[in-house]
Amino acid sequence: MRMERLPKRQRHQQLSKLLDENPFLTDRELTRLLKVSIQTIRLDRLELAIPELRERLKQMAERSYDSIRSLPLDEVIGDVLDLHLDKSGISLFEISEEHVFSRSGIARGHHVFAQANSLAVAVINDEIALTASADIRFVRPARLGEKCIAKAYVRSSRGQKAKVEVITYVGEEMVFQGDFIIYRSASETKT
């Protein structure tokens, strides 16, 4: 039963590797690289469940298209659940596909930051409020599917500077903490 020739498995590995390195290869090009007939290449792809070139390109295009679509970071990132102007606020942000590194499923930092930053700005009750500086820590990674609850507290608000602390949780765990200094346009009388 155990056949001496296992160039097949080897070839399968090579083929997977080749296509991993360069998914733009046609079957015909693969015949040159692997020195087998085109039918063999196609049987191999069949066994390995590797789709044809055009399907591979389409899938790549779709993935990159989705991730480009999702970038618009608007208004407040996440849903505002609770807001007491000049005091505190809470927002919810669910980590989905477009927010994570595909390899690791871990959210890119700027999305977690964006939730916190936009909440910090939203909680300041003024026409114009801008982030002046921030000191932030990503305590633990947020992962695909997790629901991030950001809580913002206005710690002080004198003159044009307001200090806002934001802490983001997933369940009981802290994932992010940041101290923001927000510039506001004028005195708080101008609401």
Partner DNA sequence: TAACTTTTAATACCTGGTGCCAATAAGAGT
Partner DNA sequence: ACTCTTATTGGCACCAGGTATTAAAAGTTA
- Burial bucket for residue 1 (CB in 10 Å: 0-12, 13-18, 19+): exposed
Interface pattern 93-112 for its own copies (x via CB under 8 A) = -----xx-x-xx-x-xxxx-
The whole-angstrom separation of Cα 41 and Cα 48 is 10
Is 33 a binding residue for its own copies by CB under 8 A? The answer is: no
Instruction: Report whether 27 contacts 41 (CB < 8 A).
Output: yes
> Contacts with DNA: how many residues (CB under 7 A)?
24
In the region spanning residues 35 to 94, those forming contacts with its own copies, defined by CB under 8 A, are 54, 56-58, 60-65, 67-68, 70-75, 77
Compute the chain's Rg from CA coordinates. Answer: 26
37/185 with CB nearer its own copies? 185
Q: Which stretch binds DNA (CB under 7 A): 24-32, 65-73, 129-137, 141-149?
A: 24-32
Q: Which stretch binds DNA (CB under 7 A): 21-29, 98-106, 107-115, 144-152?
A: 21-29
In the chain the beta strands, taken as DSSP E runs, fall at 79-84, 88-94, 129-138, 147-158, 161-170, 173-184
Is 3 a binding residue for DNA by CB under 7 A? The answer is: yes
Residue 46 Cβ vs DNA, minimum distance, rounded to whole Å: 7
CB atoms within 10 A of CB 56: 15
Is 170 a binding residue for its own copies by CB under 8 A? The answer is: no
Q: Which stretch binds DNA (CB under 7 A): 13-21, 52-60, 61-69, 78-86?
A: 52-60
Structure tokens at 50: 């590797």
> Which SS3 state, helix, strand or coil, does residue 34 take?
helix
In what helix (H) or strand (E) does residue 106 lie, and over which residues does it extend?
Answer: none
- Would you tell me which residues interact with its own copies (CB under 8 A)? 23-24, 54, 56-58, 60-65, 67-68, 70-75, 77, 98-99, 101, 103-104, 106, 108-111, 113-114, 117-118, 121, 127-128, 130-138, 141
